[in-house]
């Protein structure tokens, strides 16, 4: 059977955005840029369209999707917010924060893994926001990659992973943050829980809410998840990943060695770094692209140094531990 044609990559022109908005309204999938990673979007109110996301990615239906909205006024159409959740939304939206709240009946069960809650965020990427406005509906979108693999941060990554499973990719440049959004469970405003760390830190959440934010537990492999990104193994290259608090002095030549900052000795061809100065924002932005590049480099293993000092380090290390899980 012949392979389907490769997806078309669209520049963000007004004409192309109008074409893609019509495609979304018609129940088609569109890979979209966000400030975190690229997502695979469908009309969040169209169950049939959302099922296409799961088929294209090979994603199990017990792993829910995040619903993206264009403005705070749209929140009540998909969820039932409380004052504490609105406080976080006012502080951090548009931006890389996802809130888990009781869902409205209009949101199909396929989007929420059959649960009574829904994950919602308002993205900051200007091109994606223009597409959301033109589409006129909230868009459900997980990362635009085969399920469990390293998240995409460029349109080329999407093309390489899903290029023959979808038809449309909107190119918005490389993702600015490079890690998926922070997810916080706000169903009970008196007991907020951090389900997935991201660019917005627990300290920022606690400062805004004026109360502690507990850590959520990882989800079970076969049960309906409260939010995406909670599985023990995720964001994983095919090459085995080994984590280190500090790198050993002796390093096998057939294996890749990835530092957070540029090491003193860099002559070896199997030594890499995420940011020359060790800036964690730069390291986060390059993490997934580096994993993808090394996964195609025929290395026997990928050794990576864990980040230190909290804050964004928590998000980086969360992704690394899931990538290394077996």
Distance from C-alpha of 135 to C-alpha of 19, rounded to nearest angstrom? 10
- Give the strand pairing for 39-43 and 30-32: antiparallel
Place of tokens 């959301």: 132
Pull the structure tokens for residue 279: 């800036």
Share of the chain above pLDDT 70, in %: 98
In the prediction, which pLDDT does 1 show?
60
Give the residue from 33, 183, 216, 194 showing the smallest Cα distance to 96: 183
> Which residues contact residue 71 at a Cβ distance below 8 angstroms, ignoring those fewer than 6 apart?
122
Tens of pLDDT, residues 257-314: 999 999 987 778 999 999 999 999 999 999 999 999 999 999 999 999 999 987 899 9
Pull the structure tokens for residue 115: 């649960």
What crossing angle do the helices spanning 126-135 and 14-25 adopt, rounded to 10°? Answer: 50
In the prediction, which pLDDT does 229 show?
85
The boundaries of every CATH 3.90.870.10 domain in the chain are 8-215
Q: Do residues 279 and 262 touch, judged by C-beta distance below 8 A?
A: no
In the prediction, which pLDDT does 315 show?
97
Q: Tell me the CATH class for 8-215.
A: alpha beta
Distance from C-alpha of 204 to C-alpha of 69, rounded to nearest angstrom? 22
Q: Point out the least confidently predicted range of 124-138, 225-239, 302-316.
A: 225-239
At residue 210 the predicted structure's pLDDT band, cuts being 50, 70 and 90, is very high
Q: Do residues 172 and 127 touch, judged by C-beta distance below 8 A?
A: yes
DSSP string, 135-192: H-S-EE--BSSSTTSPPP-SHHHHHHHHTTT-SEEE---S-SS-SPPEEEE-SSTTS-
Tens of pLDDT, residues 53-76: 999 999 999 999 999 999 999 999
Strand partners, 8: 168
In the prediction, which pLDDT does 221 show?
56
Pull the structure tokens for residue 180: 């998926």
pTM: 0.95
Distance from C-alpha of 161 to C-alpha of 153, rounded to nearest angstrom? 12
- From residue 243, alpha-carbon distances to 207, 218, 247, 290 in Å are 31, 19, 9, 15
Q: Do residues 185 and 216 touch, judged by C-beta distance below 8 A?
A: yes
DSSP string, 285-316: HHHHHHHHHHHTTT-S-EEEEPP-SSTHHHHH
Residue 220 vs residue 251, higher pLDDT:
251
């Amino acid at each position: 059977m012949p392979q389907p044609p490769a997806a078309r990559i669209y520049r963000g022109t007004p004409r192309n955005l109008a074409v893609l908005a019509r495609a979304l309204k018609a129940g088609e999938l569109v890979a979209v840029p966000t400030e975190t990673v690229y997502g695979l979007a469908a009309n969040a109110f169209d169950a049939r369209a959302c099922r296409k996301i799961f088929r294209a990615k090979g994603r199990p239906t017990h792993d829910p999707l995040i619903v993206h909205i264009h403005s705070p006024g749209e929140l009540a159409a998909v969820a039932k917010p409380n004052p504490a959740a609105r406080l976080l939304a006012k502080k951090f939206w548009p931006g890389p924060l996802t809130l888990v709240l009781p869902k409205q009946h209009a949101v199909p069960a396929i989007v929420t893994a059959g649960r009574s809650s829904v994950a919602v965020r308002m993205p900051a990427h200007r091109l994606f926001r223009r597409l959301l406005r033109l589409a006129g509906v909230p868009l459900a979108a997980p990362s635009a990659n085969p399920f469990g693999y390293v998240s995409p941060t460029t349109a080329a990554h999407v093309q390489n992973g899903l290029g023959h499973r979808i038809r449309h990719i909107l190119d918005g440049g490389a993702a600015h943050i490079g890690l998926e959004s922070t997810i916080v469970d706000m169903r009970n405003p008196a007991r907020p829980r951090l389900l997935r760390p991201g660019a917005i830190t627990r300290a920022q959440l606690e400062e805004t809410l004026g109360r502690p934010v507990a850590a959520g537990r990882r989800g079970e492999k076969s049960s309906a998840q409260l939010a995406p990104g909670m599985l023990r193994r995720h964001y994983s290259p095919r090459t085995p990943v080994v984590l280190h608090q500090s790198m050993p002095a002796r390093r096998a030549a057939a294996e890749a060695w990835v530092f957070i900052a540029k090491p003193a000795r860099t002559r070896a061809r199997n030594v890499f770094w995420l940011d020359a100065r060790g800036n964690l924002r730069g390291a986060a932005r390059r993490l997934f692209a580096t994993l993808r590049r090394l996964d195609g480099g025929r290395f026997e293993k990928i050794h990576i140094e864990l980040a230190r000092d909290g804050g964004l380090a928590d998000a980086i290390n969360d992704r690394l531990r899931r990538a290394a899980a077996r």
